[in-house]
Structure 1
Amino acid sequence: TTLGVLGCTALLVTGLGLYDAIYSVMSKQFDEIIRYQAVLKMDEGLSGKQYDSLLAKIRKNPLVAEHFELHTDSCKVAAEGVDAHPVKDVSLYVVEDPDRFAHDFFTLQTEEGKNGQNELKENKGVLITRKMADLLHVKKGDEIRLQIQESEEDIGEERENKKEEKETIRVRVAGIVENYFNHYVFMSRKEYRSLPGRKQESSEINAVLLKYRKGLSQVEQLKDSGKLATASEVSSYERIGIYRQQIENSLMGVNAAVMIIIVAAGALACVVLFNLTNMNISERTRELATLRVLGFHIGETSSYVTGEGIFMTVTGILGGLAAGRWMLIWLMKTVEADNVMFGRNASLRSYLIATALTFFVSLLVNRMVTKTIRKMDMVTSLKAVE
């Protein structure tokens, strides 16, 4: 009985925790960490006049509340002296003003709960995101290699290898910051320019982060993005809202999975508790019949059996809560993609719901047991041979 209830509770915690682990990080990522609504990337080789023209369009746009200029590159990251595969498709953000960037556009909170922008301002190295640190098995103070992926095309294999070797730079990890979707490396512009082989023009502004006015609907943002995206100086325009919607659509099956797990756990509890309790009654029919003959009421007689069941149910629930937490951690690590990190904890509400549902099933079975005892033929039971 205890093991059955333990499994039921563990499944409930896992199912409810699955929902918490996924949707809690969605809110954190797109409401607390990423605070901008769009990324505008410029065409390569813009003249100073074209650059000023684009910024003027952004500043004059009545729907844009704030913007932040930065340099961004796509890179591949590997760890020094660690047997781990390099992490590809990493976004490198080179920022001029770390304070404003972290305060208004991208929260840089380290594992220690500190502000990561302080490390950038002091040029102590780079900040990397948690998932990438786990994949590379690196920690604060370790050295990593960044391999900048330039946009040149049609490069022969031999030339490409030489180019990659030339473009590999080594940096120190100054901190690991919270992030749940995609990989990022953050670096100050001063630090970037001080690296070997980095020319001044290699850190020129090539992207702008945009924050729209508060209260602006998705439709209004979409209309405005069409205007900016078609500007001659713009190579690409990415809306965070669309990316979030794509992720939410891909996770639509989570709700169905949670419901299936809850129903399966409830069915497991019903079958286990009912069958084991009935077996207990069938083995003790003479005892129960004797109690009835001696004048014990139905409630007193049934409590003789259900009391043991309640004790085992409580024990199973306590074990199931711990087992469910372990199962949730294992499940989240198993289903994660390389560029995604889900939460690891279920909310207090999920633990309470799992406990309440298991108790409800236990009480339901107890009522069924009481009816079974009420219908018991005492004479036949007393005549039964042990």
Structure 2
Amino acid sequence: AQTERDQLEIPTYHVYDRKTMPGGQGYLMYSNASSSISAVGNIFPVVLYLVAAMVTFTTMTRFVDEERTNAGIFKALGYRTRDIILKFVLYGFFAGTIGTLLGTLLGHYFLSGIISNIITQGMVIGESREYFYGDMTLIALGLSFVASVLPAYWVSRKELKEEANLLLLPKPPVSGSKIFLERLHFIWKRLSFTHKVTARNLFRYKQRMLMTIFGVAGSVALLFAGLGIQSSVRGVSKRQFQEILSYELIVAQKTNASSQESKQLTNRLEKSDIKDYRPIYSKVIEASLKGGRDKQTITMMVTDRTDFAPFVSLRSIKQGESLSLKKGVIISSKLAQLARVTVGDRLTLDGHSFKVAGITENYVGHFVYMDQASYQKIYGKRTSANSYLVQLRNPSTRKVQTVSRDMMDLAAVKAVSQNASMISLFNSVAKSLDTTMMILVVVSILLAIVILYNLTNINVAERIRELSTIKVLGFHNKEVTLYIYRETILLSIIGILMGLVGGYYLHQFLIAMIAPDAILFYPKVGLGVFLFPVGGMILLLILLGIYVDHYLRKVDMLEALKSVD
């Protein structure tokens, strides 16, 4: 009995929560997908609101200008200034309130349901419940009042400081001033008359200039960020599971397997359907990291060689250079990010501290790679292989499952881990983000249409007398259209360039924010992410140009030039 007692192994205890327990993959997928969507929901609405608020501000300003004569009549009839201001404030209040309530209902009971179905698609889970969030609704109402009521009050109060007789007259045109470009004579003298007028008018209407630039820039930035996230998400799967991790299976061997059982395993690994295999020491570690929300599962791999090629590609994420285990321990990029360590820092895992010699490119999961020399230095002992990295000649899902079943039938095999579980985890997050980004891309396109149409319409309406004057003076229809639309084109180009720069940094910020603890999104984006926002804006400008040209051809010049004096 004493002999049997002495031979007993000290048991290892595993404590699981809902995310880490065997069979808890679905809970983890749901948690990761919902947290990523939640992170997007904290950033995108802010940018959307700022861009929409600029459009609302411009619209309310234009409304007050259009009602200038009526305000003068009311003032002449003896109405108090505060009563006239109240008219504009109430208009902004009701417009903002109705719009907010419609948006609140759509957000609570339409968009949220669509996004929830996207997350839970393919999961065995009941229908999501819809709740009404009073605090969010109050915030939305407050922000709508800032964008619609305050501008109405501010602009009308400023206008009504004038006397009634002045309000009854048309608003005098904005006076021009000498611009910096005029001082550059070698450029200015080479410009045509219409180009000189365009250059001066750009700075003559400063408010509209800024609104157009920032409105277009905001829309392009949102488009770039949405498409960029889609590109980053789609680029991970191929990069991670074909170029970085090139094995299909990790076969764990029992430590107490007999020589005969081990030989059976070796014979199975030598069969023709196995392309290559490598014995390694593998260990799973659970650790809490500074930047992680929960305990992280980390896979440690130890080899007797200087690298894991061709099964794992160890490359620096920035320079792309190959990393060697001779220099020391190499950790995956997301692990380094959560642990907040860089090359040369020390990291403590599994109760042992070691120096980080390199950080390798990796997008799904956490890994620690080392050779036998590093392991012996950290743990004070050498270790023997307990697992095999396996590459299959046919990496199809069916073949992977077939080989996994064959391996599990062997007495020497303790467990078989497939990359399919990591792929499934990533695809669940990727699919939900991809569809959600598509919704936000559509919203960004609609916002761009509203911005450019609104600003162009206001620009034409405010300068109709000026346009009629040059038309009477003999300008052709094309020249009249370009006289005013050339400004929109130039300002939109500036906005597009600013939007691409802003979108790039917004995209980099978002992919760092929305990625779950075990996933790092691919930072590079495809060429289409740059071309689509630019092409979309150019197409929108062309369509608006056709509309403006058609509108100006029908203008009654004599009616527009009539004086109300």
Q: For 1:335-346, what aligned pairs fall within 5 Å after superposition?
A: 335-346=514-525
Between 1:243-252 and 1:296-305, the stretch displaced more is: 243-252
Corresponding residue number in structure 1 for 2:452: 273
Compute the displacement of 1:71 (Å). Answer: 0.6
Measure, in 2, the Cα distance between the counterparts of 1:10 and 1:296.
Answer: 37
Corresponding residue number in structure 2 for 1:31: 242
Corresponding residue number in structure 1 for 2:352: 169
Compute the displacement of 1:318 (Å). Answer: 0.7
Provide the TM-score with structure 2 as the length reference.
0.59
Per the alignment, do residues 37 and 325 of structure 1 end up closer, same or farther by CA in structure 2, a change over 3 Å counting? same
Corresponding residue number in structure 1 for 2:191: none
What is the SS of the residue equivalent to 2:539? helix
Measure, in 2, the Cα distance between the counterparts of 1:34 and 1:63.
Answer: 19
Compute the displacement of 1:70 (Å). Answer: 0.6
Corresponding residue number in structure 2 for 1:46: 257
Deviations 1:136-186 (A, max 9, x none): 221222222221xxxxxxxxxxxxxxxxxxxx2222211111111111111
Corresponding residue number in structure 2 for 1:155: none
Per the alignment, do residues 219 and 88 of structure 1 end up closer, same or farther by CA in structure 2, a change over 3 Å counting? closer
Deviations 1:7-44 (A, max 9, x none): 11111111111111112122211111001111111234
Corresponding residue number in structure 1 for 2:397: 218
Corresponding residue number in structure 2 for 1:113: 320
List runs of 5+ in structure 2 lacking aligned partners.
1-211
Per the alignment, do residues 48 and 193 of structure 1 end up closer, same or farther by CA in structure 2, a change over 3 Å counting? farther
Measure, in 2, the Cα distance between the counterparts of 1:225 and 1:139.
Answer: 37
Deviations 1:59-86 (A, max 9, x none): 1x2211111111111124578xxx7679
Q: Which amino acid aligns with 1:108?
A: L
Provide the TM-score with structure 1 as the length reference.
0.85
Per the alignment, do residues 384 and 277 of structure 1 end up closer, same or farther by CA in structure 2, a change over 3 Å counting? farther
Q: Which amino acid aligns with 2:296?
A: K
Corresponding residue number in structure 2 for 1:287: 466
Measure, in 1, the Cα distance between the counterparts of 2:471 and 2:404.
Answer: 79
Between 1:305-314 and 1:293-302, the stretch displaced more is: 293-302
Match of 2:337 among 98, 120, 134: 134
The answer on whether the counterparts of 1:71 and 1:207 sit within 8 Å (CA) in structure 2 is yes
**Structure 1 position 209 matched with structure 2 position 415:** no
Corresponding residue number in structure 1 for 2:482: 303
Measure, in 2, the Cα distance between the counterparts of 1:239 and 1:370.
Answer: 62
**Structure 1 position 238 matched with structure 2 position 453:** no
Match of 2:277 among 67, 77, 87: 67
Per the alignment, do residues 385 and 255 of structure 1 end up closer, same or farther by CA in structure 2, a change over 3 Å counting? farther
Match of 2:303 among 79, 95, 116: 95
**Structure 1 position 383 matched with structure 2 position 559:** no
Between 1:330-339 and 1:134-143, the stretch displaced more is: 134-143
Per the alignment, do residues 328 and 384 of structure 1 end up closer, same or farther by CA in structure 2, a change over 3 Å counting? farther
**Structure 1 position 322 matched with structure 2 position 501:** yes
Measure, in 2, the Cα distance between the counterparts of 1:143 and 1:87.
Answer: 19
**Structure 1 position 333 matched with structure 2 position 512:** yes
Measure, in 1, the Cα distance between the counterparts of 2:320 and 2:365.
Answer: 21
**Structure 1 position 8 matched with structure 2 position 215:** no
Structure scoring higher RCO (CA < 8 A, sep ≥ 6) equals 1
Per the alignment, do residues 379 and 191 of structure 1 end up closer, same or farther by CA in structure 2, a change over 3 Å counting? same
**Structure 1 position 188 matched with structure 2 position 371:** yes
Measure, in 1, the Cα distance between the counterparts of 2:378 and 2:441.
Answer: 54
Per the alignment, do residues 216 and 342 of structure 1 end up closer, same or farther by CA in structure 2, a change over 3 Å counting? closer
Overall identity of the aligned pairs, in %: 29
What is the SS of the residue equivalent to 1:174? strand
Which of the two has higher C-alpha Rg?
A: 2
The answer on whether the counterparts of 1:87 and 1:136 sit within 8 Å (CA) in structure 2 is no
The answer on whether the counterparts of 1:131 and 1:341 sit within 8 Å (CA) in structure 2 is yes
Q: Which amino acid aligns with 2:283?
A: D
Measure, in 2, the Cα distance between the counterparts of 1:368 and 1:32.
Answer: 50
What is the SS of the residue equivalent to 1:98? coil
Q: Which amino acid aligns with 1:132?
A: L
What is the SS of the residue equivalent to 1:304? helix
Measure, in 2, the Cα distance between the counterparts of 1:284 and 1:77.
Answer: 66
Q: Which amino acid aligns with 1:275?
A: N
Compute the displacement of 1:218 (Å). Answer: 2.8
**Bigger helix share:** 2
Compute the displacement of 1:262 (Å). Answer: 2.4
Measure, in 2, the Cα distance between the counterparts of 1:343 and 1:301.
Answer: 48
Q: Which amino acid aligns with 1:113?
A: G
The answer on whether the counterparts of 1:77 and 1:144 sit within 8 Å (CA) in structure 2 is no
Measure, in 2, the Cα distance between the counterparts of 1:276 and 1:240.
Answer: 52
Measure, in 1, the Cα distance between the counterparts of 2:291 and 2:462.
Answer: 59
Structure 1 vs Structure 2 CA RMSD: 2.2
Deviations 1:221-259 (A, max 9, x none): 322222112322222212224532442244223332232
The answer on whether the counterparts of 2:481 and 2:548 sit within 8 Å (CA) in structure 1 is yes
Measure, in 1, the Cα distance between the counterparts of 2:354 and 2:333.
Answer: 17
Measure, in 2, the Cα distance between the counterparts of 1:273 and 1:109.
Answer: 46
What is the SS of the residue equivalent to 2:246? coil
Measure, in 2, the Cα distance between the counterparts of 1:22 and 1:216.
Answer: 22
Compute the displacement of 1:196 (Å). Answer: 4.3
Corresponding residue number in structure 2 for 1:157: none
Measure, in 1, the Cα distance between the counterparts of 2:470 and 2:311.
Answer: 73
Q: Which amino acid aligns with 2:343?
A: K
Q: Which amino acid aligns with 2:474?
A: G
Compute the displacement of 1:115 (Å). Answer: 2.2
Per the alignment, do residues 105 and 196 of structure 1 end up closer, same or farther by CA in structure 2, a change over 3 Å counting? closer
Q: Which amino acid aligns with 2:386?
A: N
Measure, in 1, the Cα distance between the counterparts of 2:396 and 2:232.
Answer: 28
What is the SS of the residue equivalent to 2:279? strand
Measure, in 1, the Cα distance between the counterparts of 2:341 and 2:421.
Answer: 32
